[in-house]
Structure 1
Amino acid sequence: MSTEPATVGYELLRTPRLNKGTAFTEAERRAYHLEGLLPPRPVTLELQMARIHAELSNLDNNLQKYMFLSDLQARNETLYYAILMSDPATFMPIVYTPTVGEACQKFDQIFRIPRGLYLPITALGRLKELLSHWPQKDVRFIVVTDGERILGLGDLGVGGMGIPIGKLSLYTACAGIPPQYCLPITLDVGTNNPELLEDPLYLGLNQKRVRGADYAAFIDEFVQAVQELYPKCCIQWEDFANFNAVPILELYRDKICTYNDDIQGTAAVALAGVFAALRISKQKLTEQRFLFLGGGSAATGIAELISQAMALEGLDLKAARARNVLFDINGLVVRSRNDLADFQRPFALEHAPITKFVYAIKELRPTGIIGVSTVPKLFNQSVIETMADINKRPIIFPYSNPTSRSECTAEEAYRWSQGRAIFASGSPFPPVEIEGQSFTPGQGNNVYIFPAMGMAIFATEAKRVTEEMFIVAAKAVAEQVTEKNLADGLIYPPQSKILEASLHVATRVAEYIYDHDLAGVPRPADISTHIRACAYKPVYPAFAV
């Protein structure tokens, strides 16, 4: 089917969703006033991709490649996604973690073309007006941050916009969600980062962060404005500080279609890793005990989802939570402490205080340790060796991002455990060889969860996002790990196959959505076929000539 673009000539070349660049045919050039605006020889999308690959190969580092691809996205969206989807395992670390962390830190220095929306708290009372400035009127996904806790890097203010932009790129590249339905947003309430406040290049509000009732009113006005303008939209909360992330999710999760990827997506990808790890250790989920290094929203999110999964397998929920233990900056999370947040209390043990992580391992004898501390190297040799002493196949998951914040490297985990660790990390690590045996480290990246969750929501027009949907997603990820993958130490599907993996997960989640009357559209005869029909393909549209 052919269509007519809404714009012609020079403007058409400046409209990234419609622009084909040198791939416009001679007939299209005549019809849409492009003659003379392009070099005369038309080329194919494939040749354009070859040129982009060649240009990328000449760049020295991943930040340069990130900036190059950002510019490409701003001028030719189809070509951008064709590149990403041609080799997702190569390009995901460039457009998202770990490179996006450096891009966020240098946001004000490398800023080029605005993307998405910036909503400052100074516009309180006018957020619907600002939201209406977005040209697309059917928005299905908003990824939103306030920039306070970007990866493990802290408060980056409006520089955190790189996270929503990157996440939504992966919604499309990894699960086929059409990009026109996606909107990245930064809520600017100020920053407490003194370096940013003193930097003349900083592009955000030059003020300390707003807290309390004014902040809550700002969030609520934003949510209500989204509901009024985009009633089919799902809001994904991203990189908020724990003390805001948890109450925001609790307030809105049963009222609108929303979720928090740091809490629920991270939990689901960790649970997927656990399900796959148990295929190696030949143990039951209800036999596991996990010790978390970190006691924030990511840790409690993972702990709660594992507990819920244990409960589904017959364990009492209270007993399940007692098998998921937190260790934060002040030591083991025990009931006698008077510094606990409400969201930590369900996991507080009736136990004497312990202030050293390795002592907690010796005392509690966990089958797995999960790092979400954002502090590097805390899974040291003593920690790994102790885990290996008490477990035949210890589960070692240093999930902190970016790579510089990882609790240990893959090589350290494998070497210090004599190759017995079942390992996955939040950031990518290269293959490791220990005593002649080769290991392929798995990356417990949320990319296995949130794009697929998004596609399931998109295809079904789901009204809500539930905890059970994340357990379904975790099982669907784990069931795609082959025996060959497990033999190589890989407990997640290969990222080179991420689109197929995501569509499989999306199908499983969509089945749950339809089974539990959460869908906004009728159930199709074949859900898998419906999901695939919804998926975006990076091909140029045919224009009427």
Structure 2
Amino acid sequence: MESAMKEMRHGASVLDMDPKSGVGGGVEDVYGEDRATEDQFITPWTFSVASGHSLLRDPRHNKGLAFNERERDTHYLRGLLPPSVLSQELQEKKVMSNIRQYQVPLQKYTALMDLEERNERLFYKLLIDNVEELLPVVYTPTVGEACQKYGGIFRRPQGLYISLNEKGKILEVLRNWPERSIQVIVVTDGERILGLGDLGCQGMGIPVGKLALYTALGGIRPSACLPITIDVGTNNEQLLKEEFYIGLRQRRATGQEYAELLHEFMSAIKQNYGEKVLIQFEDFANHNAFELLAKYGTTHLVFNDDIQGTASVVLAGVVAALKLVGGTLGDHSFLFLGAGEYALLMSAMAGTGIAELIALEMSKQTKSPLEETRKKIWLVDSKGLIVSSRKDSLQHFKKPWAHEHEPVNNLLDAVKAIKPTVLIGSSGVGRTFTKEVIEAMASFNEKPLILALSNPTSQSECTAEEAYTWTKGRAIFASGSPFDPFEYNGKVFVPGQANNAYVFPGFGLGLVISGAIRVHDDMLLAASLAGQVTKENFDKGLIYPPFTNIRKISAQIAANVAAKAYELGLATRLPRPENLVKYAESCMYSPIYRTYR
């Protein structure tokens, strides 16, 4: 303590919060975001020593020109800043004005990433206040291009890189990360990035982007988030020859070598962070994604957004759409395109994941066996309709969907034979919902529900314009990537976006605030049924609410998920709060600047 005080007298300062704000010094944080972590209850009075120069280079505490006169004196900032004092609101206005001047989305992306590295709270305030405008920049579709060019735009690491070089010492690597209280980890091995394929180590843009949304939309503290890329090589020949590629220059490891690295990783995570840390698998290839989820679902708190998150958000959209198309879930029949092994985006993972969750909810509503409700759902893969005569040659996760029917070779014939009320695309192949397919859907449905879910936009099964035009304005349409509003016969249609960001941030928050130790299917159902679509939204053909209300939606989803965790006996944070919605809101990170004393 004495040496620290001597250092303070020579050009450094105590960096702590204003006692009036209730922040710091062991006093409960009125903003609440730290209440979601157990360590807040046992942290003693602490302080850190920082010079003014280092304070301006600390993104978590830097406020730039928003430091007031007293703070500039107290924290040795005099002369290090121009004399003007700007509010956070004025800073936000200036930065947004600068970002809007960029014409190229990737330039906006790099500008935002630079801001995050300079001023964390301003970055999140921008993202929260301008979520509909900036979501396509920090995530799909722009993040896909960012991953493709990650080596060229790489400035400083934003997460942990664990490669085959670290085999046998992953626990040591985890301990190199400065934060000890981690609540959410998003991890990828880069093999199946969006609809772009194997991007190896450059897939890091995905965990970084997902965790930015965990904070902005779900309120998880930035310091409690850890992006990780597991680098086992890449089979992308172009990247292996790229001089700026940042990963291992070798073919992708498979089999036992891959399994051993992943097992060491999962064991080290549990040893270092405990069993309440959420591990979200992101953009793993089909053959690994299902296996990892099945293998670690009983021993770790794991979640696969491509399988479970997509399923939850699609079910939410389908349930909301019933108010437009009529009937109950059990009255409808579903046809999926995208159980094929070669689909790049979601394919078998999303297709069967969505199908299973819909069948599960249908079973609960109709009190029918799951085996019966599955018969209302049909899948088409690269070889045609999945039928019982193909059962012997099918992968295990397709077999439950092999129903009695004569073979059908293509999507159009499958649509004509099955006559589904809902057509869902998760193929990763663009323009597969042809004019003939959409017109066939419209021929036997007054309001056909068409969900073209593949990302990025170029991979979408059809565009919003095509869906509305070919159905003469009768389609209820949603896509995975955003489409602009479209006018048809004098009416403006606003396409919905079946974006996983509606679900996973609130889902993760619900797990954190309840201290859940496992993910259960009933939690996914609880999350998917928390949609808040208004009559005004329905009038525009929307089956998802606007993202402007996403934090309230996330709090509601978190409350529903936490309630289910308590009901199932999977929650460890006791006693259960009386009002889970208010508790979820109180735990959310706030990007508003603190006042330092």
TM-score for both structures, normalised by structure 2: 0.89
Query: Within 5 Å, which residues of 2 pair with 1:402-417?
Result: 402-417=456-471
Matches within 5 A, 1:453-464: 453-464=507-518
Q: Residues of 2 paired with 1:369 and 1:431: CA distance? A: 21
SS in 2 for 1:169: helix
| One of 497, 512, 516 as aligned partner of 1:443 | 497
Equivalent position of 1:190 in the other structure: 233
Within 5 Å, which residues of 2 pair with 1:75-94? 75-94=118-137
Aligned 8 A contact 2:310 2:354 in 1:
yes
Q: Deviations over 1:448-498 (max 9, x none)?
A: 110000111121111111111111111112xx1112211210000111211
**CA separation of 1:353 and 1:6: change in aligned 2, threshold 3 A:** farther
String of CA shifts for 1:263-299, please: whole Å, max 9, x gaps. Answer: 0000001100110111111111112211111111111
Match of 1:367 among 397, 421, 426: 421
1:202 maps to 2:245: yes
**Paired residues for 1:279-290 under 5 Å:** 279-290=323-334
Q: 1:495 aligns with which of 534, 537, 547?
A: 547
Deviations 1:397-438 (A, max 9, x none): 000001111000111101101111111100111111111122
Q: For residue 212 of structure 1, what is the aligned residue in structure 2? A: 255
Please name the residue that 1:529 is paired with: 582
Letter in 1 for 2:584: I
> What displacement does 1:48 show?
0.9
Distance, in Å, in 2 between the alignment partners of 1:72 and 1:312 is: 47
SS at match of 1:236: strand
Structure 1 equivalent of residue 43 of structure 2 = none
* CA deviation after TM superposition for structure 1 residue 60, in Å: 1.4
Contact 2:503 2:528 in 1 (8 A): yes
> Of residues 141, 147, 153 in structure 2, which corresponds to 1:110?
153
The alignment status of 1:331 with 2:374, answered yes or no, reads no
Distance 2:95 2:387 in 1: 55
Distance, in Å, in 2 between the alignment partners of 1:249 and 1:423 is 31
Q: 2:321 aligns with which of 264, 277, 283?
A: 277
Amino acid at match of 2:66: A
The offset of 1:187, in angstroms, is 0.4
In structure 1, the residue matched to 2:7 is none
Q: Does 1:346 align with 2:394?
A: no
Residue 516 (structure 1) aligns with: 568
User: 1:533: how far off?
Assistant: 0.9
Secondary structure at 1:341 match in 2: coil
For residues 336-361 of structure 1, what are the alpha-carbon distances to aligned partners after superposition, in whole Å with 9 as ceiling and x for unaligned? 33542111111122322211100000
The answer to whether 1:392 aligns with 2:392 is no
Q: Aligned equivalents of 1:6 and 1:260: distance in 2?
A: 41
1:153 aligns with 2:196: yes
Q: Is the 8 A contact 2:506 2:555 kept in 1?
A: yes
AA at the equivalent of 1:253: G
Give 4+ residue runs of structure 1 displaced > 3 Å after superposition.
Answer: 3-6
Name the CA distance, whole Å, in 2 between partners of 1:542 and 1:5. Answer: 15
| SS of structure 2 residue aligned to 1:543 | coil
What letter matches 2:480 in structure 1? G
In structure 2, the residue matched to 1:245 is 289
Q: Counterpart amino acid of 2:582?
A: T
Select which of 8, 16, 29 maps to 2:51. 8
1-structure distance, mates of 2:291, 2:226 = 23
- Residue in 2 aligned with 1:541? 594
Shift of 1:198: 1.1
Match status 1:432 vs 2:486: yes
Query: 1:291-328: CA deviations, max 9, x gaps?
Result: 11111111110011011111111222112112221111
SS in 1 for 2:303: strand
- Contact 1:5 / 1:18 at 8 angstroms: preserved in 2? no
Q: Partner residue of 1:17?
A: 60
**Equivalents in 2 of 1:267, 1:229: separation in Å?**
31
Aligned length: 542
Root-mean-square deviation (CA), in Å? Answer: 1.2
Q: Does 1:180 align with 2:180?
A: no
> Counterpart of 1:532 in structure 2: which amino acid?
E
Give the whole-Å Cα distance in 2 for the aligned partners of 1:527 and 1:363.
Answer: 47
Query: Equivalent residue for 1:73?
Result: 116
Call closer, same or farther: CA 1:474–1:537 in 2, change over 3 Å: same
Q: How does 1:478-493 map to 2 (within 5 A)?
A: 480-493=532-545
Q: Counterpart of 1:103 in structure 2: which amino acid?
A: A
Q: CA deviation at 1:8?
A: 2.6
Cα separation, partners in 2 of 1:333 and 1:47, compared to 1, 3 Å? same
Q: 2:526 aligns with which of 465, 472, 495?
A: 472
Counterpart residue number, 2:89: 46
State the alpha-carbon separation in 2 of the partners of residues 120 and 312 from structure 1: 44
Structure 2 residue 346 is matched with structure 1 residue 303: no
- How far the C-alpha of 1:5 sits from its partner, in A, is 4.8
- Show the 5 A alignment for 1:218-257: 218-231=261-274, 232-257=276-301
Higher Cα Rg: structure 1 or 2?
A: 2
Q: Report the secondary structure of 1:511's partner residue.
A: helix
- What SS is found at the alignment partner of 1:350? coil
Say if 2:383 and 2:410, in contact at 8 Å, map to a contact too: no
Does the 8 Å contact 2:450/2:475 carry over to 1? yes
Query: Deviations 1:240-263 (Å, cap 9, x if unpaired)?
Result: 000000010011112111110000
1:147 partner SS: coil
Aligned partners of 2:49, 2:177: CA distance in 1, in Å?
17
Letter in 1 for 2:100: S
Aligned pairs for 1:135-146 (under 5 A) are 135-146=178-189
Long gaps (5+) in structure 2: 1-16, 19-23, 25-46, 340-347
Tell whether the 8 Å contact from 2:233 to 2:251 is kept in structure 1 after alignment: yes
* 2:358 partner amino acid: I
**AA of the residue aligned to 2:313:** V
> Could you tell me how far apart the structure 2 residues matched to 1:284 and 1:11 are?
60
TM-score relative to the length of structure 1: 0.98
**Alignment partners' CA distance in 2, 1:71 and 1:402:** 24
User: How far 1:155 moved relative to its partner?
Assistant: 0.4
